[in-house]
Structure 1
Amino acid sequence: MNRVPTGFPRDFMWGGAIAANQAEGAWDVDGKGWCIADINEFRDDVDITKKYNDEVSSTYVKEAMASTTRIFPKRCGIDFYHTYKEDLKLLAGLGLKTFRTSINWARIFPQGDDEQPNMAGLQFYDELFAEIRKNGMEPMITISHYEMPLHLTDAYTGWASREVIDFFERYCQVVFDRYHDLVKYWIIVNQINLIGHESFNHLGVAEDKVSDLASAKYQAVHNEMVACARATKYAHEHYPDLQIGMMLCGGPAYAASCKPEDVLATLKHNQMEYFYSDVLLRGRYPGYAFRFFEDHNITVVFGEHDEKDLENTCDFFSFSYYYTRVVSKESYEHGNEAVRNQELPANPWGWTIDPTGLRILLNEFYDRYQKPIYITENGVGYYDKVENGQIHDDYRVNYYREHIRQMKEAIRDGVDLRGYYAWGPIDIVSCSSSEMSKRYGFIYVDLDDYGNGTGQRIKKDSYTWMQKVIASNGEDLD
């Protein structure tokens, strides 16, 4: 009997994904507090291949909050806070079945430790989620996507403080109680394994507030995973129809060579990439993590009930996919680093393009967890040029075509892939470089890196192509 699927499931969830901090703007509107993204600065004096959100000191935070001359593009985004109705109509025109965005934590709890939520923030998301549904799209909502209230990084030590577990648990309970009728699919934390390049952005731990930054990061992500497990337990007990997911950034790297020492180094590296999903999907710490902590002099303190809390596992696995990297014995010993694969082409920012890697990861992750999988981010940043009111982006079409082909192959391999979310279906501010010129969307937004422009939305050539792909359920890729 032939049991190999012939293509995408009929109910496959074709979607698009953005984040509140990169799109909404309105950073000081309707009672919203300062959040971490509000101090992500645009720099035009840094090589574009080296732009990422580095470690941050408490001094930098104070100076950024006080500055009136520096550029912080995420404070304005693309003004989605005010344009979401028009933007959602354009996105629905693609044929999207689902749309992923996030809740800005600082809109709901402006300080993070507030006793009561901000009602204006709750009302905004009431209207946004209803509008997503009105346009025929199923919402998938991320609860924490680099929008931690900045107060929690100063009055506490971000996620390194156990108090934040309780604050976050209260936040999750409020949004589950408020939106459970509108939102069935939830991701609690975006790309939970990013504790390197998105360290402060993700964890809120200022480097000058701790004596051992490595231990503080792993303590922070431990506290975060405990909070995720508690939130999952609450959702399952109160709203059993909700689907709760966890999310990684990318995944395992390739070995730089077939030398056993490179293969072993790659294994060790990869283990500490999927460590987070092992905990949140299997319900316990794996032995290799304790060995890693011992070998690297890292201290993580467990609370009395943490191990029991962590038994509350998520329902599905999700991940973002942009590129693959390679690991050698030397790069591993140089801080557990993965480096660019020079065998592959890359975009101008040095992000390698590897469609086959997507099939490999889908198989590896499904073999490991046997859970439904959603690709919750995939896309490529390029410079786009407007010519006579049009954007001819065949390079973007080529990228998506090859990645969708590999997704179909993974489904034929037996992977239970339920959905696919193109990252940035409308142009938004880049996460890593805080610039607009690194564009991902099928819809162009007329704003530059300095916030200048009309804000006009223009459909790119890729918009029409993606319409055809979705209408054919992934069969017509020409």
Structure 2
Amino acid sequence: MKEFPKNFLWGGATSANQYEGAYLEDGKGLSNVDLIPSGSQRLDVARGELDPKLLPDTAKFPARSAVDGYHHFKEDIAFMAKMNFKVYRFSISWSRIFPNGDDEQPNVAGLKYYEQVIDECLKYDIEPLITINHFDVPHNLIVKYDSWRNRKLIDFYLRLCETLFTHFKGKVHYWLTFNEINMILHLPYLAAGLTFKEHEDKLHVSYQAAHHQLIASAKAVLLGHKIDSSNQIGSMLAAGYIYPNTCNPIDAWDSLTEQRKNYFFSDVQVRVAYPNYALKYFEKIHFKLSKNTDDPTILKQGTVDFVSFSYYNSRVIGKADQDQTAGNLFASLKNPYLKTNEWGWQIDPLGFRITLNELYDRYQKPLFVVENGLGAKDTLSAKNKVNDTYRINYLHDHIQALKDAVT
């Protein structure tokens, strides 16, 4: 059996809002993720259905402290080096660089922090892979401009991109424009800082905001290539194969329709234009996209260099007349052929391979698996170790599926 190539980029990932903490420290501004609580109201806020201002005083906000990586990144990267990481994906907190989002000049302390992180990676020959925007919108842009529903966000985002591309030129060569860009349709406040007015069509607002992000992504690709021709700039999806529940053609059609909602984003970012199925869908939901005359040219010119994605589990779709189960971000019908973790994630390494092959067949672009893993309630042994054979098995099976796909 063939082996992975020697230059294969093995590594791991964090995001600023789950890792850094250091809430408002060293000039950082308030962000949408700083206002998403833990507990039963988390999803209501993340979906834009509950205004964070209405949360009780007792609400807790995990992003504000996270795991305090802001103060521990050196030891963490040293551990990564011991694990032979070749790449480390992390994200930039927009409000750590531009505290209000519309600032004219960047926060020097924020740039210094990320430069230290990058230099620490390079010290161990670990390639930095930077997500420019990972579910992170400065709160001021939400309050003052209505976030990504406003086209002005494109220019503010590009100011961030230009700052990063210029400041870290020669040190960083791999970039992602938006984390899981398709999540704007599912968790619009978390993904894009979107809030909604009463009786407003949330889907229309989300697709308009998504258009602005797609234009911003294309412009970022053009800008990144102009500043440094060695930059490789990719898209990123929350991916996972969607099985039809039965061989009923209706279930098969529902599976295709749901998958198209995900691939719509990467279809635009790779195939240079809005696919016909998306335009037909917009007609069906009576949505008229607001766009500038040069937008099609921007999308055509600003295609991504590679496609990246997260994969945790597969899903099943069909008539909801049977039990449902949870996933990392999506609910699903239960698949009787798969085991689940304690939160209902369906463990499906073959679904991982199917996703890999489907994406490559669709786009013929290099693929980057930037998230994969298993959530579990771990316990420490008497020797302060985690005996997580369940996670080892999960990773073993998914790595084997990856190997089957690429070799």
Q: Shorter-chain TM-score category?
A: over 0.9
- The structure-2 alpha-carbon separation of the partners of 1:27 and 1:324, relative to structure 1 and needing over 3 Å to count, comes to same
Residue 396 of structure 2, aligned match among 376, 392, 401:
401
Paired positions, count: 396
What is the distance in 1 between the residues matched to 2:232 and 2:132?
Answer: 13
Equivalent of 2:299, from 303, 310, 313? 310
Paired AA for residue 214 in structure 1:
L
Q: Within the alignment, does 1:319 sit opposite 2:309 as a pair?
A: yes
Q: Is the 8 A contact 1:340 1:352 kept in 2?
A: no
C-alpha separation between the residues in 1 aligned to 2:124 and 2:33? Answer: 28
Contact 2:36 2:52 (C-alpha < 8 Å) held by counterparts: no
Aligned-pair identity in percent equals: 40
Q: 1:352 aligns with which of 346, 355, 365?
A: 346
1:53-202 equivalences under 5 Å are: 54-56=46-48, 60-63=51-54, 69-202=58-191
Per-residue deviation, 1:380? 0.6
The offset of 1:53, in angstroms, is 5.8
Gaps of 5+ in 2: 322-329
SS in 2 for 1:376: strand
User: Partner residue of 2:324?
Assistant: none
Q: Which amino acid aligns with 1:339?
A: S
Q: 1:341 aligns with which of 334, 340, 344?
A: 334
Counterpart Cα distance in 2 of 1:340 and 1:178:
47
Q: Secondary structure at the match of 1:382?
A: coil
Give the letter for the 2:116 counterpart.
E
- Cα separation, 2, equivalents of 1:322 and 1:392: 21
Displacement after TM superposition at 1:63 (Å): 4.4
TM-score by length of 2: 0.93
3-state DSSP of counterpart to 2:181:
coil
More helix by share: 2
For 1:172 and 1:210, locate their aligned partners in 2 and report how far apart those are by CA, in whole Å: 35
Return the alpha-carbon distance in structure 1 between the equivalents of residues 45 and 397 of structure 2: 29
1:277 maps onto 2:273 in alignment: no
Aligned to 2:30: 34
C-alpha deviation, 1:127, in angstroms = 0.9
d(CA) in 2 for partners of 1:354 and 1:200? 29
Distance 1:129-1:378 versus aligned 2 partners, 3 A rule: same
Residues in 2 aligned to 1:69 and 1:330: alpha-carbon distance in whole angstroms: 36
1:28 maps to amino acid: L
> In structure 2, do the counterparts of structure 1 residues 212 and 197 end up closer, same or farther at CA, with 3 Å as the change threshold?
closer
4+ residue segments displaced more than 4 Å: 50-53
Residue identity matched to 1:137:
I
Of structures 1 and 2, the one scoring higher in RCO (CA 8 A, sep 6+) is: 1
Amino acid at match of 1:378: N
Instruction: Sort the Cα spacing of 1:81 and 1:230 in 2 relative to 1 into closer, same or farther, 3 A.
Output: same
* Structure 2: distance between partners of 1:338 and 1:32: 34
Letter in 1 for 2:10: W
The answer to whether structure 1 residue 204 and structure 2 residue 193 are counterparts is yes
Aligned equivalents of 1:330, 1:88: Cα separation in 2 = 45
Distance (Å, rounded) in 2 between the aligned partners of 1:367 and 1:21: 33
Secondary structure of 2:51's counterpart equals helix
Q: Please tell me the residue identity of whatever aligns with 1:211.
A: E
Aligned match of 1:15 = 11
Post-superposition Cα deviations, 1:196-217, rounded to whole Å, max 9, x if no partner, equal 4421111111023782211000
> 1:327, 1:338 within 8 Å by CA — same for their partners in 2?
no
Question: Kindly tell me: are residues 92 and 52 of structure 1, through their superposed partners in 2, closer, same or farther at Cα, counting changes over 3 Å?
Answer: farther
Question: TM-score normalized by structure 1?
Answer: 0.80
Matched, 1:410 2:405: yes
Please provide the CA RMSD for this pair: 1.9
Q: How is 1:231-270 mapped onto 2 (pairs within 5 angstroms)?
A: 231-270=220-259
CA distance in 2, matches of 1:319, 1:165: 23
Partner Cα distance (1:378, 1:53) in 2? 25
CA gap 1:268/1:56 in 2 versus in 1, 3 angstroms = closer
Conservation of the 8 A alpha-carbon contact between 1:186 and 1:243: yes
Tell me the distance in 2 between the aligned counterparts of 1:341 and 1:363: 24
Find the residue that maps to 2:357 and give its secondary structure: helix
Compare 202-211 and 272-281 and name the one that shifted more. Answer: 202-211
